[in-house]
Structure 1
Amino acid sequence: MSERLIAIGDIHGCRLALERLIEAINPQPSDTVVTLGDYIDRGPDSRGVIDVLIELANHTQLVGILGNHEEMMLEVLNHGGAHHAWLRHGGVETLESYGFDGDLDFLPEPHKEFLDSLGDFYAHGEFFFTHAAYDPEATFEEQEIEMLRWYSLTNGIPSKHISGKTAVVGHTANRDGEILHAGHLICLDTYCYGGGWLTAMEMNTQKIWQADRQGRLNEQFA
């Protein structure tokens, strides 16, 4: 049980599912938990999700990846970007979770710090983690943000990365609630907000935990 490497797929405001997974996993200080992005939008409690993740970082080694939904929100809040795309893709639910009253400076300071801490990718052992996908021929430092954060696997699964590491991603929702396992790529977005599961996987043993948006564990993996 020591030094586990655990990835968690797209949460999308599903706080109850996240809390149930954390309870089942019981992360330890020696574990590394990698969250693959898209913490906000669409689900009922984006604010609560970030609160839970901030608290989780006090108990384990948390590595957060920036998702395209966080990118959309931060573009609006920090750079005056157009808000239409964000609101159309779940931003309304996020604003409601924060009790939005018209003031765009609605994020609590700890939430701003959490969002500022998020990275584009993370490599550990035989695995690397990013939100959406990757360019198989580019080093991690040379990756384009469009590939890391926006590319959909419905357009084709990239070939194995030049590093030889296995990719672990989210972003492309598997609406049947199943994990996409292509050998050199694992996609853990199993459509929690839409009636599927929030999925966590311990990468070295491939142990799986899943919970739905009501906080019920998938007994198949219990």
Structure 2
Amino acid sequence: MRTLTVGDIHGGLKGLLQVLERAEISEKDRLIFLGDYVDGWSESAQVIDYLIHLSTTNTCIFIKGNHDVWCEHWLADGNVNNVWYIHGGKETIESYKGYSKQQKQAHLDFFEAMPLYHIDDEQRLFVHAGFTSMHGVERETHRETFYFDRTLWEMALTMDKRIQQNSELFPNRLKHYKEIYIGHTPTIRYHKYEPMQAVNVWNVDTGAAFTGKLSVLDINNKEVFQSDTLMHLYPDEMGRNT
């Protein structure tokens, strides 16, 4: 059985289907999604439909991202957050045209059930963005940090790679976990087009929301699977997301 972690999808169902096919997913595989399933390309509601179905055939964990929080709030009360609307919310709302009240409720239930983080039995942490507590995620006092924080990744990027995890110089924030898997900050910002590693942190968001690809990472052997660039899968939408 493989354990595969999936980067930010952002409404790109075509990319999701393509990368899972390339990874040759079977029902034995365990899938851990790092959040931001919606907002960006035109098939956000359809991505959620597919993920709900996938959870009936595979063991899946769906971490909640910031875009998922915004969509959840809209499904719950109908109010449109202006920041969300201009950062993909408009396209997500459009993707729900024709959906019944019952279908939207099923999606709301799906969002509400998502954890903010997951720790597996090998002390590997999966979280959308990061955390700030030096004592680990269980002591984090602000839930928004799990899906908005970028300081954990920024800190990992600046560390001297020669510092070992058992060193007193190694940040306490990172010592709690064998490995940490995140999304949220596209690697294409650093002109990297595959998942990036910085000390024991792996960033699997390879910019599918913009000009990048959707990535899947086998956390045991670190094999990477990728879709085509999403802008080529959705050529009529290139201007909006690039």
Q: Give TM class, smaller chain.
A: 0.7 to 0.9
Cα drift, residue 106 of structure 1: 8.1
Aligned 8 A contact 1:19 1:215 in 2: no
Structure 2 unmatched runs, 5+ = 157-170, 235-242
Cα drift, residue 174 of structure 1: 1.8
The DSSP-based 3-state class of the residue aligned with 2:69 is: helix
The DSSP-based 3-state class of the residue aligned with 2:221 is: coil
Q: Which moved more, 1:59-68 or 1:205-214?
A: 205-214
Matched, 1:163 2:161: no
Cα distance change on mapping 1:44 and 1:89 into 2, 3 Å: same
The residue aligned with 2:196 is 180
Matched, 1:84 2:100: no
Matched, 1:123 2:119: yes
**Deviation digits for residues 80-122 of structure 1 (CA, Å, limit 9, x no counterpart):** 7662111011100001111179x9x585333223212211111
Q: Which moved more, 1:144-153 or 1:193-202?
A: 144-153
The residue aligned with 1:63 is 61
Matched, 1:133 2:146: no
Counterpart Cα distance in 1 of 2:56 and 2:23: 15
Q: Normalising by structure 2, report the TM-score.
A: 0.78
**Deviation digits for residues 47-81 of structure 1 (CA, Å, limit 9, x no counterpart):** 11111111211221000000000112223443576
Specify which of 30, 33, 38 is matched with residue 32 of structure 1. 30
Aligned 8 A contact 1:32 1:62 in 2: yes
Larger Rg: 2
Aligned 8 A contact 2:22 2:226 in 1: no
Counterpart Cα distance in 1 of 2:79 and 2:62: 23
Aligned 8 A contact 1:100 1:106 in 2: no
Counterpart Cα distance in 2 of 1:127 and 1:82: 35
The residue aligned with 2:163 is none
How many residues align? The count is: 212
The residue aligned with 2:109 is 113
Letter in 1 for 2:115: G
Counterpart Cα distance in 1 of 2:24 and 2:194: 23
Counterpart Cα distance in 1 of 2:153 and 2:2: 32
Letter in 2 for 1:127: R
Counterpart Cα distance in 1 of 2:151 and 2:138: 21
Runs of 4 or more, structure 1, over 6 Å off, are none
Aligned 8 A contact 2:76 2:108 in 1: no
Counterpart Cα distance in 1 of 2:217 and 2:57: 18
The residue aligned with 1:47 is 45
Structure 1 unmatched runs, 5+ = 217-222
Q: Normalising by structure 1, report the TM-score.
A: 0.85
Identity of aligned residues (%): 26
**Deviation digits for residues 122-164 of structure 1 (CA, Å, limit 9, x no counterpart):** 1112421000012251233222323211012598225452323
Letter in 1 for 2:194: E
Q: Which moved more, 1:163-172 or 1:198-207?
A: 163-172
Counterpart Cα distance in 1 of 2:202 and 2:225: 15
